[in-house]
Structure 1
Amino acid sequence: MTATTAPEHTTGTRRVPVSRGYSFELVKLVSQWRVRLLVLVCWIVPALFVAGVSLQSTLPSDTLFGRWMHATGWAGPLVVLGFAGTWALPLLTSVVAGDVFASEDRLGTWRHLLVAVRSPRRIFAAKVLAGLTVILLLVAGLACSSTVGGVVTAGNQPLVGLDGHLLAPADAAGRVLLAWLCALAPTLALAAIGLLGSVALGRSPMGLLLPALVALAMQVAQMLPLPVAVRLALPGYAFTAWNGLFTSPAQVGPLLIGIVVSLVWAVLATVLAYLLFLRRDFTNPAYDGSGRRAITTGFLPLAGLTALTVAVVAVATPSTGSGIEHDKVQRSVATAFAHLYRMQTEQLNRPDVTEAQLRATAACNKGGGQVAPQGAGNDWRCVVTWYLPGAAAPGTAIYQIDVASDGRFVADGDGPKEVNGYFLVRTPTGDTPNPLWQFDGNVELLDPTPKG
């Protein structure tokens, strides 16, 4: 049956502005019990979680910035951000954006809505704006609640960056806020995919699950040994690329690429949802979407966009392969060790020493020297060498390094015990583990300058 919709201008009727449609759709969304529950959870639970973890004797050291939750309140919102990018935000976009159009199909209210508004275009705009407002409210709740819980519990203290340098509280606050703002880009991309699924699949539950399934697929892809160009061309990469904000200098290249790719996905998916919405059949109350149209107008353009962004990123960036290379790992480990060595020196009340005096270097191999020193893996081993003024011989320390495919690594001290073994150090905020025992770092996947 051919779709029939009301014309934009009808004689003797008054045009309904988008603002009224927006307020109506927003009230409809907020009146749903599950949306109200999500708002309540996002504004309360993160604060309770961060406060509870910060008061525990053990910390989630396997989570990025989790080992610093006792030392500063600014680690809490970053731990929550890492969890949100993996699980919470995809599920939130599924519940809100994935159901904003499909709910009308389930209730059979399209004809009533068209008679009242008399414009599919304004209906689409109102629903998109209402869904975006609720999603922004949920993200703001996660960020604000986790920040308040962290600062109240652990205090407004400096934060240790991913290269070991200390960030002043004001600087840490600004970068935490910027990290959450950067996470909005992939969130908008998932929300747009949810809108597309909600329009294309009608009452089918697959429309509701689509953002979560796409996010899961992107997470699996990020764990695979894919080339750098493929990683950066996926919209979910910005959920992890914010790590680069916490190094000095900041590794903004991958982050900017991830944000641009996410926004392009958000725009294209929204446009495709709009085109499908204008061409759908509103006269059939049992409409369940058009499978062929969903593939040709929805899936194929996004697949083509992925191929195009991979090609553009591959040409525009000088890095090839995994981006995890021998020199990069050595440089990152040595830099983090030098910064953290100075922190340990201060905590142990020893004479201060600068990074230039330490001249720290790292000699790393992978697989005991039996495999090429590149790529992700937990079989990296580094020997760090440094010099102290007046010392007759340099100092050495051994680390076992676990490098993830996204460039994040965890260094585990393997001797000597008095340097990088486990022992407690007394600080103004309480006893904390030796900062050189275990630490996180980040290898920049992109080369700073073109090769050759």
Structure 2
Amino acid sequence: MTATAPVVAPAPTTGAVRVSVARGYRFEVVKLVSQWRIRLLVLACWSAPALFVAGVSQQSTLPADTLFGRWMLATGWAGPLVILGFSGTWALPLLTSVVAGDVFASEDRLGTWRHLLVAVRSPRRIFAAKALASLTVILLLVVGLAASSTVGGLLAVGNHPLVGLDGHPLSPGDAAAKVLLAWACVLAPTLALAGIGLLGSVALGRSPMGLLLPTVVALAMQLAQMLPLPVAVRVSLPSWAFIAWNGLFTSPAQLGPLLIGIAVSLVWAVTATALAYLLFLRRDFTNLTDDASGRRAVTAGLIPLAALVGVTVAVVASTTGATGSGIAQDKVQRSLATEFAHLYRMQTKQLNRPDVTEAQLKATATCNKGSVRVAAEGPGNDWRCVVSWHLPDVEATGTAIYQLDVTSDGRFVADGDGPKEVNGYFLVRTPTGDAPNPLWQFDGNVTLLSTSKG
């Protein structure tokens, strides 16, 4: 058995031109956008959302089970929010997998590491160029999703006011600013998934799991968000930022959970990218048959990220005092009463009745979960609420019944159960014809953290 000397990248000779990060970055961007699948993704992200929003806006049935879906016929600003909800669940994890999850593994499949090392002469600059190039392409795809859905919605429906998640109307300018801010907020969890993609691409090499890692991690986090886990655990996951943008559409805005989600996502992005960088620098490029180590992927990738979850959960729990599910009876009652008051005023304008204010209505809600014997807390579709309000110069108290389906992330759907004159029918007769009844069925949001009021 004879020992062979390892083959290393030749050291730069005197007078050799060093390939800068900027030059390597341009080369990697060109290499990425020259791939047919990346071109197809760019085309789809910049055209498909507009076609979808415009197509749905011409239909009589709407995706009412999607947040803001029931408003797609009323304003063009609902379309980009529907696309945003879909993107956070499916599109963005898949995009980061295809781009960041393959940026290093493609060199393993093609066997081009030696050529790249000889040309660039620096693993550090190679990593920086590839990471920045993948980030650029991902940002291009995200901007395409946002721009296309916005243009499609405005052209198909128009620049009309949007109704927030607490029932208050948003002017077109305010709606535009918040839609743009919501898309900007999901860049943080997208960067976290991109960092996980870089880590998987470096640690697992040509293995298909490296390409699928961001999607698998995103699906696992989405499953965790649906389980009855403590609110401190859900808020401590990067996937929370894909949900917390809902708080922008209440008044006052629920900024606490959103800022926590963004901070956690950025910490994940930095940590995963740093781990990928360290693994890349320690890699032996001279061994063409060993492009990754399963043990190294676990010890340098999985264990640090699992430890990061524990640290973030401890920090969030200690700083916010969050316990349990975060969905309590008083929060549900307060959110429902506030939204009902706003939507009641909207219905009043539709029917040309004398205007009233929220202070005059004095709307309150009384809710229980299943029965009075069951603790009124936690998610479920068995919430039953009675809303009461008062009108000026009217002695009788108005009441309306709602069935609530509250999910673990704080979103609820309120379904009117009478009386028919208020919320028992999906249309109301206005002087200009039938119009959707805003009190029949609506989406709302319960703040999970007691310190989250903007």
Q: Does 1:93 align with 2:110?
A: no
Q: State the 1:287 CA deviation.
A: 2.6
Contact residue 397 and residue 420 of structure 1 kept, 8 A: yes
2:155 alignment counterpart: 152
Aligned residues: 450
Relative to structure 1, the CA distance from residue 113 to residue 417 in structure 2 (aligned partners, 3 Å threshold; closer, same or farther) is same
Q: State the 1:428 CA deviation.
A: 11
Q: Does 1:164 align with 2:163?
A: no
From 347, 362, 366, the equivalent of 2:365 is 362
Q: Does 1:443 align with 2:446?
A: yes
Q: Does 1:380 align with 2:376?
A: no
What is the alpha-carbon distance in structure 2 between the residues aligned to residue 435 and residue 176 of structure 1?
A: 21
SS of match in other structure, 2:384: strand
Contact residue 53 and residue 59 of structure 1 kept, 8 A: yes
Q: State the 1:433 CA deviation.
A: 1.7
Report the AA paired with residue 369 of structure 2: K
What is the alpha-carbon distance in structure 1 between the residues aligned to residue 369 and residue 187 of structure 2?
A: 37
Q: Does 1:127 align with 2:141?
A: no
What is the alpha-carbon distance in structure 1 between the residues aligned to residue 323 and residue 43 of structure 2?
A: 45
C-alpha RMSD of matched pairs (Å):
1.7
SS of match in other structure, 2:324: coil
1:27 alignment counterpart: 30
Aligned pairs (5 A) from 1:276-425: 276-425=279-428
SS of match in other structure, 1:368: coil
Relative to structure 1, the CA distance from residue 118 to residue 426 in structure 2 (aligned partners, 3 Å threshold; closer, same or farther) is farther
Deviation digits for residues 335-354 of structure 1 (CA, Å, limit 9, x no counterpart)? 00000000000001100000
Deviation digits for residues 93-132 of structure 1 (CA, Å, limit 9, x no counterpart)? 0000000000000000000000000000000000001000
Q: Does 1:433 align with 2:436?
A: yes
SS of match in other structure, 1:369: coil
Given the two structures, how large is their TM-score scaled by the length of structure 2?
0.97
Q: Does 1:272 align with 2:269?
A: no
Report the AA paired with residue 211 of structure 2: L
Relative to structure 1, the CA distance from residue 309 to residue 351 in structure 2 (aligned partners, 3 Å threshold; closer, same or farther) is same
Q: Does 1:75 align with 2:75?
A: no
Gaps of 5+ in 2: none
What is the alpha-carbon distance in structure 1 between the residues aligned to residue 203 and residue 260 of structure 2?
A: 29
Report the AA paired with residue 446 of structure 2: V
2:224 alignment counterpart: 221
**% identical equivalent positions:** 79
SS of match in other structure, 2:405: strand
What is the alpha-carbon distance in structure 2 between the residues aligned to residue 290 and residue 81 of structure 1?
A: 36
Contact residue 326 and residue 374 of structure 1 kept, 8 A: yes
Relative to structure 1, the CA distance from residue 427 to residue 240 in structure 2 (aligned partners, 3 Å threshold; closer, same or farther) is farther
Contact residue 256 and residue 452 of structure 2 kept, 8 A: no
SS of match in other structure, 1:418: coil
Given the two structures, how large is their TM-score scaled by the length of structure 1?
0.97
What is the alpha-carbon distance in structure 2 between the residues aligned to residue 299 and residue 74 of structure 1?
A: 40
Relative to structure 1, the CA distance from residue 171 to residue 279 in structure 2 (aligned partners, 3 Å threshold; closer, same or farther) is same
SS of match in other structure, 1:314: helix
Q: Does 1:38 align with 2:62?
A: no
What is the alpha-carbon distance in structure 2 between the residues aligned to residue 145 and residue 186 of structure 1?
A: 21
SS of match in other structure, 2:141: helix
1:183 alignment counterpart: 186
What is the alpha-carbon distance in structure 2 between the residues aligned to residue 3 and residue 137 of structure 1?
A: 41
What is the alpha-carbon distance in structure 2 between the residues aligned to residue 157 and residue 91 of structure 1?
A: 32
